[in-house]
A and B are shown apart, each in its own frame.
Chain A
């Protein structure tokens, strides 16, 4: 529902300030106003279009005497600094009424009417809607009557579009009946009397009720849409929380077992130093797992709320691969899994150390989890000005239909088995922040290979600290 805003003290055009209610116009609005001079006309149309331009709406001004298209452009240019640029981008169109009428001459369907064509163009251009104004109504009809009927039709058509229109009527050219008809056939009439603006609402309660009903329906539809989105997001988050809790509990359960084993052994007598240190080392590995999981969880909100800050330094990717291999080799060796490292030559470049470690960790942990018992290989290669980092496993492979959603965050992933669905998503975000790409190649029964393709100088010095 449109409420007239109080006149604001911007009044470079008029001592009375801006006409009421031209700032935020609901789509489908159809207003009119009466003017005597070109100055009166500009007092209404300049604020009308200035507000539209500020709201990222397309603006179409159909100029007619007493203000020509050239004068209209000059007046609007004085109020909107970058008007020329906006005209060239297609946000603002100022057109003479004769050209406008010529454009509409062949139109039979409402969709071919010039205003509907402009509205379509604005939608394609990404504008929020279209504001139209013209003062040629008195010229459009040989006898300035019958306009009520015409405007009524326009009004009906407007309702279906993201269009708001403002019609201007020249007081000295329309008779009292015409004025009454104009006021009757528009939603509201803007009038300036005694230096003050007045907004006279249209006289049809039925129409006002219809408008209200329409707005209410639209609002309801939007609320339903948003609510459904929010409910989906909430459901996904609930699911994620329960999965994440389960994932945190697994290393915690192992950790607890080691503590209990040590406590039990201690109760029996002095601990064997070698046994104790082996068990403590395995407990530490579980602490590292918990730490990595929590880091990924924290990254979820960090990455979602902005870009990843990178701190590049001179590194050897092959050496990093070696360290990552060493971190996991004990775990894989104990379960008897072949774990190869293939990084024969140094691959030098500028990267963020911690983020690359995270990429290695997440990819290897992913292979450990989803290819149980299978061989894993980490390899690093330089190719021209790129570095290729690959983690390959000989596990069961991934079904083709799952591949496209593999790098999406928990909301989209459908983990058939464990994992919080963040590891690969984080890998992708990190690699992309470094200017690289990550790809997966997998065939059921034949294993899976994840490859990060990184530029040698990733995310130079322009990244914020």
Chain B
């Protein structure tokens, strides 16, 4: 059984490309165009292994989505990464497990999926570094490796 990823991104082109990249590696992907749609989808007892969420979105933005997610005991534990072009206060308010810096290189995206989808393929980087390349964050799980420190934006 492979892992599943929820992509919350309002730009249909980018959402599609992200879904395509993940699906190509065997992950099951669901795309929601904004936070409210994502909560609705999650509300039907769906528990993806990983949530990738955009910061700026209409209807419901990333920070609001994250606030609601953390307030729901059933959803709070789902690993969540923000996708953002700018590392700013909004990102830190979200208390995410890490973030992917836009434009997201394919390698970083797939490394993040491998890292946070326990049911997916064994991460290729396992044993080499504790945090996949391109994924950083205050709440990154595992012991910080030599290349990681809190707040370091992805290269």
Contact = CB atoms under 8 A, between A and B. Distances in A.
Interface of A: 246, 249-254, 256-258, 260-261, 264-265, 279, 282, 285-286, 289, 331-332, 334-335, 368-373, 395-396, 416-418
A373 B33 contact: yes
B70 interface: no
A395 to B, nearest CB: 8
Sort A-B residue pairs by CB-CB distance and give the 3 closest, nearest first: A253-B103, A372-B33, A260-B106
13 contacts: A250-B14, A254-B14, A257-B20, A260-B107, A261-B17, A261-B20, A261-B21, A264-B106, A286-B13, A368-B12, A372-B10, A416-B58, A417-B57
A258 B13 CA distance: 11
A370 B13 contact: no
Contacts of B56: 417-418
Interface string B90-109: 00000000000011111101
B18 interface: yes
Given A370-B58, A373-B34, A257 B11 contact: no
B85 interface: yes
Contact of A256 (B15, B57, B85, B103): B103
B16 A253 contact: no
A411 B92 CA distance: 30
Contact of B15 (A264, A286, A335): A335
B58 A417 contact: yes
Contacts of A253: 14, 17, 102-104
Contacts of B106: 257, 260-261, 264
A249 B85 contact: yes
B24 interface: yes
B112 interface: no
Given A265-B24, A372-B57, A335 B13 contact: no
Contacts of A396: 58-59
B20 A258 contact: yes
Contact of B13 (A251, A264, A279, A417): A251
Contact of A334 (B12, B24, B103, B105): B12
B77 to A, nearest CB: 26
B37 interface: yes
Nearest to A253: B103
B82 interface: no
Interface in B29-66: 31-34, 37, 56-59, 61
Given A249-B103, A261-B20, A261-B24, A254 B57 contact: no
A335 B58 contact: no
Contacts of A285: 13
